[in-house]
Structure 1
Amino acid sequence: MIPALTIILSFQLIGEIASRGLTLPLPGPVVGLVLLVLCCTVYPRLAEMLRPVAQGLLGHLSLFFVPAGVGIVAHLPVLAEHGLGLGLALVVSTVLAIAAGALTFAAVARWIGSPDE
């Protein structure tokens, strides 16, 4: 388990170094994840070695949201003061994101000539 976690965190570190060193517009963990996927594609034994640890991490993914919940509770006065504006911003941005995704999907479907038009 420790070697697999070390490999996963090493790829995150490599991605962070590459992202900052090359001033890439992507976050370091994303670069590291892409590199990890490429390595797992080239070396399937690596993927098999990481699989149990990755599944364990995914099984407890909800624990990663605990700090966000604590942050919300710690800032309840700010939330009470600006809650309506924050809620409105969340709703509007969600609707805009869904609309942008749908329009992009429709444009790509037209572009590639999808038969489901």
Structure 2
Amino acid sequence: MKFLKQFGIILGVSFIGEVLKYFIPLPIPASIYGLVIMLLLLSVKIVSVEQVKDTGSYLIEIMPVMFIPAAVGLITMWSELKSLWFPLCVITVVTTVIVMAAAGRVTQFIIRMEKRQKE
């Protein structure tokens, strides 16, 4: 029953993200709305980590399985993607480096801010 309740909370937040995506005409995926809502709920302690921890851990464990349909789609569309493989590889590498650098900078910034607050 615990897992059903936790999964219900996660699904409820995801549903609210879908509703926001429908009503707010911005090019932001519904999943991002859901993640921001969950972050806000956790930050203001409306939802505690313990209320979603077990199901969240399970969903993270099975995440690779969720990418199988996308990979199959790429394989079936290979004839159309064959001519674009080089630009796609370049874009993938460049964006990966940019995301890694941005994540590192944000992490460094947060660590420095926490050190300043402790002093």
Tell whether the structures are fold-level matches, with TM greater than 0.5.
yes
| 1:1-117 paired onto structure 2 within 5 Å | 1-41=3-43, 42-43=45-46, 46-91=48-93, 97=98, 101=102
Distance 1:29 1:80, change over 3 A: closer
State the 4+ residue runs in structure 1 displaced beyond 6 angstroms: none
Any unmatched runs of 5+ in structure 1? Answer: 110-117
Shift of 1:31: 1.6
Q: Percent of counterpart pairs with the same letter?
A: 27
Aligned residues: 103
**Normalising by the residue count of structure 2, what TM-score does the alignment of the two structures yield?**
0.65
Distance 1:88 1:32, change over 3 A: closer
CA RMSD of aligned residues (A): 3.0
Higher relative contact order (CA 8 A, sep 6+): 2
Report the Cα distance in structure 2 between the residues aligned to 1:59 and 1:67, rounded to whole angstroms.
17
Any unmatched runs of 5+ in structure 2? Answer: 110-119
**Normalising by the residue count of structure 1, what TM-score does the alignment of the two structures yield?**
0.66
